Structure 1
Amino acid sequence: MTYYPVDTPPTVHACPEASRRRASVKAVLLILLIALGDLAVWNVTPGLSLAVFAFAAVFAGLSLGWARLTVRSRVGVAAGGVLALLPLVELVQPLSLLIAWVGLCAVCVVLAGVTRHDIMRGVMRLWWVAPAQIGRDLVGGAQRLGTITMAERDLQSTLLGWAVPVALSILFALLLVGANPVLDHSLTRLFTWSPPSPDIARMILWSLLAVLIWPWLVAVRMQARLIRHRPVRVTVKRPGLINAASVARSLVAFNALFAVQTGMDVLFLYGAAALPEGISPATYAHRGAYPLLVTALLAGAFAVLARPHLAGRPVLRWSMMLWLAQTLALVFASLWRLDLYVGAYGLTPLRLMAFVWMGIVAIGLGITAQQIWEDRPALWMLVRSALLGAVTLYACAFVNFDGAVARYNLTRDVPEDRRLLCKMSEGVMPAIERFSGQSTADYCEVYYRVPTLFRPMDWREWGFRNWRVRRSLAAMMQSTDTAQR
C-alpha cells in the first residue's frame, strides 16, 4: 500500500485548479459545520444536537474521502459513527461523552486509511497527530497567503476594466442620493450605526469547533503519521522477581491462604454456622465484599505474569488452575456478600456498579483460565478482556441506574433512604411516583434538593431517556385521572 503524506496523490496535485477546488470545498464545509456547531451547543443544554453535529462532521469527512475508501471502510465509518453517537442520543453524560470521543477517534483513523490491524495504534497517535496537523495547515495557509501576488499586466487590466464602471457608479449614486431624501436618510442612519462588539466567548467556541472539525476534513493527510511504526528493539530477557521458583512457591502459599478464606465462606455464608459474638451477618458480608474483589484483580494480574513460567511444568499449571478456581470462588462469595448486604440495607448506585464490576472480573478470570489452559499468548487474553470491558461500558450507557436503585429500594423491605433517592437524577421520578404513592415533590419535600423533570426547549435538547421519563410520568398521570373519574 502506498501512503501519501499530503492531501491527494502527486498526480492530482499537478492540476492547480483541482487543488483550489478541493480547498474551497473544505473551506465551505468548515464554515457550515462551525455554524451547525454554534446552533447545536451555544446557549443550549446538550442533547440530540450534539450527536447531530458530530455525525455531520463524520459525514463531511466520509464525503470527502468517498472515492479513495473501500466499500468496507465506508460501511465501517458510517456504522462506527452511529454506534459511537447512540449513547449521546440516549443521554448526554460523562460516560456517553467518553464513548463518543473514543469511538469517533477510531472512526477518524479508519477514515484516514489505517487498516484494522493498526487502528488501536492509530487512535493513540491521533491525539497528538491531529493537533500537529492543524498547526502544519495553519502555517502552510499563512505562507501561501503571504506569497500570493498579482502580475503587473493583470493588475493593469483589472484597473482598466473596473475604473470606468466604479467611478461613474459612484457619481450617479451621489446624484440620486441628493435627489432622493429617503435614500439620504437611510444612508445617514447607516453611517451613524455602530456594529455590536464581538462576543469573545462565542469566538472562542468557533475556534474550538474549527479545531474539532478540521481533522475530519484532512484525515488522509494524517495517514502516514498515524501508521508510522517504531523500530523493533531487541531486548535480552534477564531473570526477574517472577521466575519458575517464585511462581511455584507463590502458588503453594496462595492456594493455602485462599483455601482458608473459601472454607470460612462455606461455613458462614453458605452454611448455618454461627458467627462470633459482636459480628452480624451484614457486617461479615460488607467487610469482605470489596477487599475480596481487589484480591481477585491482583490474582488475575499475577496469573498473567506467571503464565510464561508454566510451560512444560504440569504441576505448576494445575496449581495455577486450582488457584484461579479458588479466586473465582472468592468473586462469587463477594457477589453473595454484596447481595446479603443490599438485602439488609438497600441498593445504592455504587453497590449496583459493584455488581457489574464483579461480573466483569469473574468473566475476566474465566478468560485468563482459558488462556493458560490453551497456552495462548497474553495478547489473546488482553484483547478479549478489553472487548468485554468496552461492551459492558457501552451497555451501561443505556441503563437508568438511578431508576433501578429507586425501584429496588421502594419495592423491597429495606430501610427507606429518602435523602439518597432525592439526591439522584430525574430517572428516579417514575419509580418514586409509582411505588411510593406520592408525587416526587411531596416525597422529597423535607429536602432542599428535589429531582426536577427537564423539559427540552426544542429538538436540540431532546434526549431519549428524558423522553421515556416524561412519557412514563404522563401515562401515570393519565391513569390516575382516569381512576379518579
Structure 2
Amino acid sequence: MQANVIPGVPVRMQQDGWWLDDPVDPVRRRQAARRRDGGKALLLVALIALGDVLVWDTAPGINLALFAGVVLMVGLGLAWPRLSVRARFAVAMGGVLSLLPLVELVQPLSVLIALVGLSLCMAAVAGLSRADVLRGAARLWWVAPVQSVSDGAGCVRSVGELSLARSDMRNIALTWVVPVAASALFAVLILAANPVLDRWVADVLSLDVSGPEWGRVWFWGVLSAAIWPALVTYRMRERLRARKPVRMTVRRPGLVNAGSVARSLVAFNLLFAVQTGMDVLFLYGDATLPDGISPATYAHRGAYPLLATALLAGLFAVVAQPFLAGKPMLRGLMLLWLTQTMALVVASMWRLDLYVDAFGLTRLRIAAHIWMWLVAIGLGLVVWQIWKDKPASWMMLRSGALGAAVLYACAFYSFDGRVAAHNLSVADAPDLALLCRSSEDVIPAMAATYGPSWRAACVSFYDMPEVFEPADWREWGFRNWRTRNSLRAMTTEAAVP
C-alpha cells in the first residue's frame, strides 16, 4: 500500500507520531561526544608530556607555576564560550595571583595558596556563580578524583565494547596474513643479501628500548588524574553546585543565653581589669617585680597566653551577639570588655617586643607579632560591628579577607632574612646555631656582617646554609635569584680596590 504524500509538507510531519522523534540522532550524539573526548585525550597526552619535561627529575621552581598555569589556561580555553567576560577575567587574574607565590619561592605556604587559588579558579571555570564558588572549590577535592576515575573506567568500557562489536575480525586477519608473511619473508632474504642494510637493522634492534621506570609511570598517572578534571569542568558543574537542603530548626535555650551572657560579661570585665592594672604597673610603670621574676620572664609568660585569651574573647563576642539586641546595658558591657581585650593584645605586643630585645628574633616571634596585629584589628572590627549594629557576616567577611591578604603577603616575605638582619645588627652574641640551620635567605646578612669568611662562623655547628644554584631555567626562583644577585654584588664590591 503506497502512502499518500502531500507536497510541501515537512518530512517529519509526513510520519505518524513525528512529535515523539528526538531532534538529535542518539548515534550522532554519541559520536560527537567521542570526538570531543578524543580531542581532550590528545590534550591530556600533550599536557602529561609537558609536565614530564617541566617537572620530572627537576628541583621545584618556576616549572611548577608554569605547568599549573598552562593547565589552567587550557581548561579556561575549553570553557571559554560558556563563560561571561567577567568570569574569564576573574579566572585569568586569579590564576596569576595564585601562582605568583610559587614564582617567588616554592614552599609549603606558596603551594597551599596555589592549590586554594587554582581550586577557586576551576570552580569558576565550571560555570558556578559567585555564591557557589567557595562551596564548589571545597567539593572539587573529592569530585575531581571521582570524575577522573569514572571517565577512565568509561573509556575502558567503550574500548572493550568497540573491540567486541567488530565481528569481522576474521576477515581482517585473512586480508593481512598473506601481505605480512610474504613481506617478512622477502625482508629476511634482502637482509641476507645486503650487509649494509643488515648492519643498520642490527644497530636499530640493539638500541635500548626498555620502558620507563615505575616511578615515572606513577608520576604520569598522578598528572593525568590532576589534569583531566580541568579539561571536563562542565561535567562536574552540578556536583560542585550541590547544596544541602535547608532545614528549619527551632532554637532551644542552651548554655549561652541572655542571663549567662550578662553574668559572664560582668565576671570577664572584672578579671580583665585585674590583668590590665597589673600590666600598667609592671610593663608601663616603674613598679618592681617580685624576687625571682625578671622583666623578660614576665613578658614571655604573658605573650602567648594573653593572645589565646583575646582569641577566645573574640569568639565569645560573636556567639553572644544575638543576645545583645535591645539591651544597651549588655552592649555597653560587651564594648567595655572588648576594649579591655584590645588592651591585653597591645600588652602582649609590648611583652613580645621586650622578649625579642632580650633574646633575639625568631620565625615564631615574627609570626606571633603578625598574628597579634590580626587579632587586634579583628577585635576592632567586632567593636565597630556592635557599635554600628551591623550583621555578623559583615565582620566575618572582612576578617577573613584580611587574614587571607596577610597570609598571601607572607608568601613574599623572607622570615629568615629578617631574623638574620635583626639579630646580627642588634645582638652582641647572636644565636649562630639558629642562623646556620636556616635557609639561604640568611646568607646575605651573614656575608655583610662577617665578610667572605662567613662560613667560618658556622663551622663549629656542623651545618651551614648553601645557596641553591639552579641547573636550568626550570628550577629558577625569584627569591633565590635575588639572593644570588646580592652575594654577587657583595663579591664585586669587595674586589674593587
TM (normalized to structure 2)? 0.90
Provide the C-alpha distance between the structure 1 equivalents of 2:77 and 2:172, rounded to a whole number of angstroms: 37
Provide the C-alpha distance between the structure 1 equivalents of 2:474 and 2:202, rounded to a whole number of angstroms: 41
1:320 maps to 2:328: no
1:433 maps to 2:447: yes
* Counterpart in the other structure of 2:384: 370
* Counterpart in the other structure of 2:269: 255
CA displacement, residues 440-485 of structure 1 (integer Å, 9 cap, x when unaligned): 3122121111111110000111100000000000001100111xx2
* Counterpart in the other structure of 1:454: 468
* Counterpart in the other structure of 1:4: none
Provide the C-alpha distance between the structure 1 equivalents of 2:434 and 2:163, rounded to a whole number of angstroms: 69
| Preserved CA contact (<8 Å) 1:12 1:18 | no
Among candidates 191, 199, 202, match of residue 185 of structure 1: 199
Provide the C-alpha distance between the structure 1 equivalents of 2:302 and 2:182, rounded to a whole number of angstroms: 93
Paired AA for residue 481 in structure 1 = A
Identify unmatched segments of 5+ residues in structure 2: 1-23
* Counterpart in the other structure of 2:486: 472
* Counterpart in the other structure of 2:125: 111
* Paired residue total: 474
Change (3 A) 1:94 1:436: same
Among candidates 56, 60, 75, match of residue 74 of structure 2: 60
Deviation at 1:225, TM superposition (A): 0.4
Change (3 A) 1:327 1:70: same
* Counterpart in the other structure of 1:3: none
* Counterpart in the other structure of 1:88: 102
* Counterpart in the other structure of 1:395: 409
Deviation at 1:54, TM superposition (A): 0.7
Deviation at 1:149, TM superposition (A): 4.7
Change (3 A) 1:150 1:202: closer
Change (3 A) 1:152 1:358: closer
Instruction: Give the share of equivalent positions with the same residue, in percent.
Output: 56
1:442 maps to 2:456: yes
Deviation at 1:436, TM superposition (A): 3.5
Deviation at 1:281, TM superposition (A): 1.4
| Preserved CA contact (<8 Å) 1:410 1:436 | no
Deviation at 1:150, TM superposition (A): 8.0
CA displacement, residues 195-239 of structure 1 (integer Å, 9 cap, x when unaligned): 325401111111111111111011110000000111111111100
Change (3 A) 1:63 1:253: same
* Counterpart in the other structure of 2:433: 419
Change (3 A) 1:151 1:288: closer
Paired AA for residue 233 in structure 1 = R
Change (3 A) 1:373 1:12: farther
* Counterpart in the other structure of 1:22: 36
Provide the C-alpha distance between the structure 2 equivalents of 1:279 and 1:167, rounded to a whole number of angstroms: 97
Provide the C-alpha distance between the structure 1 equivalents of 2:73 and 2:349, rounded to a whole number of angstroms: 45
Q: How does 1:228-243 map to 2 (within 5 A)?
A: 228-243=242-257
Provide the C-alpha distance between the structure 1 equivalents of 2:485 and 2:411, rounded to a whole number of angstroms: 20
Secondary structure in 2 aligned to 1:67?
A: helix
> CA RMSD of the aligned region, Å?
2.2
Secondary structure in 1 aligned to 2:80?
A: coil
* Counterpart in the other structure of 1:148: 162
Deviation at 1:306, TM superposition (A): 0.3
Secondary structure in 2 aligned to 1:386?
A: helix
* Counterpart in the other structure of 1:5: none
CA displacement, residues 338-393 of structure 1 (integer Å, 9 cap, x when unaligned): 01111121111111111111011111111112222233332222222221111111
Secondary structure in 1 aligned to 2:83?
A: coil
| Preserved CA contact (<8 Å) 1:58 1:216 | yes
Secondary structure in 1 aligned to 2:81?
A: coil
1:270 maps to 2:284: yes
Secondary structure in 2 aligned to 1:231?
A: coil
Provide the C-alpha distance between the structure 2 equivalents of 1:310 and 1:275, rounded to a whole number of angstroms: 40
Identify unmatched segments of 5+ residues in structure 1: 1-9
* Counterpart in the other structure of 1:385: 399
Paired AA for residue 407 in structure 1 = A
* Counterpart in the other structure of 2:351: 337
* Counterpart in the other structure of 2:363: 349
Q: Which moved more, 1:246-255 or 1:12-21?
A: 12-21
CA displacement, residues 122-177 of structure 1 (integer Å, 9 cap, x when unaligned): 11111111111112112211221111158779768867886776566545534432
Change (3 A) 1:152 1:393: closer
| Preserved CA contact (<8 Å) 1:51 1:89 | yes
Paired AA for residue 70 in structure 1 = S
* Counterpart in the other structure of 1:74: 88
Provide the C-alpha distance between the structure 2 equivalents of 1:224 and 1:337, rounded to a whole number of angstroms: 52
Provide the C-alpha distance between the structure 1 equivalents of 2:99 and 2:33, rounded to a whole number of angstroms: 33
* Counterpart in the other structure of 2:210: 196
TM (normalized to structure 1)? 0.92
1:45 maps to 2:59: yes
| Preserved CA contact (<8 Å) 1:87 1:100 | yes
| Preserved CA contact (<8 Å) 1:275 1:281 | yes
Provide the C-alpha distance between the structure 2 equivalents of 1:427 and 1:41, rounded to a whole number of angstroms: 24
Paired AA for residue 465 in structure 1 = R
Paired AA for residue 343 in structure 1 = D
Provide the C-alpha distance between the structure 2 equivalents of 1:438 and 1:360, rounded to a whole number of angstroms: 40
Secondary structure in 2 aligned to 1:398?
A: coil
